[in-house]
A and B are shown apart, each in its own frame.
Chain A
Amino acid sequence: MSNRLKLIGDGLVKNNPTFVLLLGMCPTLATTTSAINGLSMGLATLFVLVLSNMAISLIAPVVPDKVHIPVYIVVIATFVTLLQFIMQAYTPAMYETLGLFIPLIVVNCIVLGRAEAFASKNGVLESACDGLGVGLGFTCSLTVLGLVREILGSGSVFGFNFIGGHDGMLAFVMAPGAFLCLGYLMVLFNKLFKK
């Protein structure tokens, strides 16, 4: 049990996909214009990550070596498409905001990376915990990054404006701000957690 908790903790801190492993930079930079967008993108990835990790750890023992990548990609793509259907049906507004970045989860290196490095070598429950940990790590990083960019760029927190109708520093909503915030947050994260 403690081993599984440790797996979740590792995903959050030691193997944090955004601040330590630097994986999945494309959705990280593009979707974190606000805290809520970052949070939804993180949760979408978490959903795919947990399910694909579980499915892949189940089928890994029978998958021949030479076709394992195509098989994994098919499995991941299935879960992403499933997620797409669900979001389109029940959260159409969020689906529209995240748009292209939902199908792009298929090629998010975090998902295939965890499948290769962890799920294919471990049991179902461990893989689920690993997926949960890394997914939560991704979700938290994206939410924090989105939050910082939203505060600086739009002067609001989760959509609640606190500077009364004025504009924030717009650069932070756009691409340069994404890089700047990510860089500083990374420094802070590594200063706090890396030994």
Chain B
Amino acid sequence: MAVKSNLTNMVLVLGVTCLFCSAILGGAYVLTKEPIEAAAVEKTNKAIAQVLPHFTDAQYNEQEGYYTATDGEKLVGYAIESTSVGFGGNLSLMVGVTPDGVVYNTSVLSHSETPGLGAKCTTDEKFMSQWKGFDPAVKKLIVKKDGGDVDAITASTITSRAYAQAVENALATFKKIGGTGNE
């Protein structure tokens, strides 16, 4: 059944196959471009909505990696992306900071912590809820073990430290972009 190979038919078959396949993929790319973009926008909006109060529009600042969320004319707050090194690799957070410098909420964008230990930073109620309304002017952004006010996840001090570090990075960005805060 196999056709005997010669230069002409090899070039022809491979060339035509590639041409045909690229045409299909080009078409598919155009067709799926919009839904893919819509899905990406929805995902970031969801991440922002998790960490900030109600907003209608979010502008992305690429250089510093944060979104300015506004509700009409009113500034709702900043959703700041920040990364630190956890136990298993990078730990990326979205940190919502209201204009008065208080953390509204945080959510994990991506992590590679150990399942059942550090990975609890996405499920542990007690650990997660402490970030709601965390005021860096009142509380110390260091885990309790190191003399601060952050409750660590049991048996996952390194992850908890990384989490606190990421929040601190986000607050540093907040100061950099002109937020005043209470301090």
Contact = CB atoms under 8 A, between A and B. Distances in A.
A140 interface: no
A74 interface: yes
A62 B106 CA distance: 58
B148 to A, nearest CB: 27
Contacts of A64: 2-6, 9-10, 13
A77 B28 CA distance: 14
Interface string B28-43: 1101100110011001
Contacts of A81: 25, 28
A102 to B, nearest CB: 14
Nearest to A81: B25
B21 A74 contact: yes
A89 B1 contact: no
B43 A71 contact: no
Contact of A61 (B3, B14, B24, B39): B3
Contact of A67 (B10, B21, B35, B36): B10
A173 to B, nearest CB: 5
Contact of B14 (A67, A77, A173): A67
Nearest to B115: A173
A174 B119 CA distance: 13
B116 interface: yes
Contacts of B35: 89-90
Interface string A59-100: 111111111101100110110011001101110100000000
A69 to B, nearest CB: 11
Contacts of B172: none
Nearest to A66: B5
Contact of B17 (A74, A85, A120): A74
Given A75-B17, A82-B24, A89 B10 contact: no
Contacts of B21: 74-75, 77-78
B75 interface: no
B28 A82 contact: yes
Contact of B18 (A74, A90, A173): A74
B115 A85 contact: no
Interface in B99-123: 114-117
A157 B89 CA distance: 28
B3 A63 contact: yes
Nearest to A95: B39
A74 B114 CA distance: 37
Given A78-B25, A82-B24, A89-B39, A62 B32 contact: no
Contact of A85 (B32, B40, B43): B32
Given A88-B32, A121-B1, 10 more contacts: A61-B3, A62-B3, A62-B13, A70-B14, A74-B18, A75-B21, A89-B32, A92-B43, A173-B115, A174-B115
13 contacts: A63-B2, A66-B5, A66-B10, A67-B10, A71-B17, A74-B18, A74-B21, A78-B25, A86-B32, A88-B36, A89-B39, A167-B116, A170-B114
Interface of A: 33, 59-68, 70-71, 74-75, 77-78, 81-82, 85-86, 88-90, 92, 120-121, 153-154, 167-168, 170, 173-174
Interface of B: 1-6, 9-10, 13-14, 17-18, 21, 24-25, 28-29, 31-32, 35-36, 39-40, 43, 114-117
